[in-house]
């Protein structure tokens, strides 16, 4: 492991990475419950995988606490969808007897610890029917059924589309939850350094000067011939500095 590497530079880098990881993922109580619900809505995972992953990462005590919270939150969310679609407005997908084993589009990828956790969970327990005489909700029915065999090529969305007639309301919930982006930052921005490099002029713009530059930019766009302002940057910096020293508050229009 890098944390115990003899290379000091590598070790310090790993320590910083671990600190950053713990900042966002070290306290499961503060994590968005939608992350866990999305995993439960994966027919290969359901609650068994969430339980195993939480226990592996945070210990049995935290696992039980978070699992109860996730189940309660998911029940509450399903209740909202039940009220919304109980009038029969929920769209139905064509019935199909196709086995979920035939859905084989490429999934978004697997978690690093999938193989370890699944090995520990394999045949750990079988879901038992609760034996109650009352009808189960779609959510309880879905959770009580066996998980789908794990496959890297498993297509979650195709599975829910195929099983929508069996879970009309839960499939609507799954469609909305599984469509939530994992990050609000575009992938090209994450790996690009271009947007993070600012010269001293751009990084010190005041709101007043931003307003003026936007206005000037509109004027330039009206010109038929392109205008270069690169040579004026030094002059603009000097002008801004002079205005700050003079305490001028004149608005440039």
227 lies in a domain?
A: yes
Clarify whether residues 209 and 149 are in a common domain. Answer: no
The model's pLDDT over 13-71, given as tens digits with 9 standing for 90+, comes to: 888 888 887 777 777 777 888 888 888 899 988 888 888 888 887 888 888 888 888 88
Domain boundary among 146, 178, 210: 178
Domain boundary among 145, 178, 211: 178
Which range of 18-27, 36-45, 187-196, 220-229 scores highest in mean pLDDT? It is 36-45
Q: Identify which of 195, 51, 212, 13 has the alpha carbon closest to the alpha carbon of residue 127.
A: 51
Clarify whether residues 232 and 158 are in a common domain. Answer: no
Q: What is the DSSP string of 2-46?
A: GGG-S-HHHHHHHHHHHHHHHHHHS-GGGS-HHHHHHHHTSTTTH
Domain of residue 240: give its range. Answer: 198-246
Q: In the predicted model, what is the mean pLDDT of the chain? A: 72
* pLDDT interval class at 229 (50, 70, 90): low
Clarify whether residues 156 and 202 are in a common domain. Answer: no
Clarify whether residues 170 and 98 are in a common domain. Answer: yes
Could you tell me what percent of the chain has a pLDDT over 70?
64
Clarify whether residues 169 and 47 are in a common domain. Answer: yes
Q: Identify which of 164, 145, 170, 172 has the alpha carbon closest to the alpha carbon of residue 43.
A: 145
pTM: 0.52
Clarify whether residues 53 and 157 are in a common domain. Answer: yes
Counting the structural domains of the chain, the total is 2
252 lies in a domain?
A: no
The model's pLDDT over 81-130, given as tens digits with 9 standing for 90+, comes to: 988 887 655 554 443 434 344 433 434 444 445 555 555 554 454 444 44
């Amino acid at each position: 492991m890098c944390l115990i590497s003899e290379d000091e530079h590598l070790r310090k880098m790993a320590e910083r990475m671990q600190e950053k990881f713990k900042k966002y993922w070290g306290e499961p109580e503060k994590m968005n419950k939608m992350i866990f619900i999305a995993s439960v809505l994966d027919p290969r995972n359901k609650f068994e995988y969430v339980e195993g992953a939480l226990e592996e990462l945070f210990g049995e005590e935290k696992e039980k606490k978070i699992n109860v919270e996730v189940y309660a939150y998911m029940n509450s969310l399903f209740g909202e969808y039940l009220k919304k679609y109980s009038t029969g407005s929920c769209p139905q997908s064509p019935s199909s007897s196709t086995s979920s084993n035939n859905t084989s589009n490429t999934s978004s990828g697997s978690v690093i610890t999938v193989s370890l956790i699944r090995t520990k969970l394999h045949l750990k327990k079988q879901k038992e029917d609760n034996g109650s005489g009352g009808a189960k909700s779609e959510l309880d029915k879905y959770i009580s059924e066996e998980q789908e065999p794990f496959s890297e090529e498993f297509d979650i969305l195709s599975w829910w589309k195929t099983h929508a007639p069996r879970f009309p309301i839960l499939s609507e919930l799954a469609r909305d939850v599984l469509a939530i982006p994992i990050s609000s930052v575009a992938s090209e921005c994450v790996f690009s350094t271009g947007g993070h490099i600012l010269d001293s002029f751009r990084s010190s713009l005041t709101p007043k000067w931003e307003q003026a530059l936007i206005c000037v930019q509109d004027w330039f766009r009206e010109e038929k011939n392109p205008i270069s302002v690169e040579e004026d940057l030094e002059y603009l910096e000097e002008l801004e500095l002079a205005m700050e020293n003079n305490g001028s508050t004149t608005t440039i229009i």
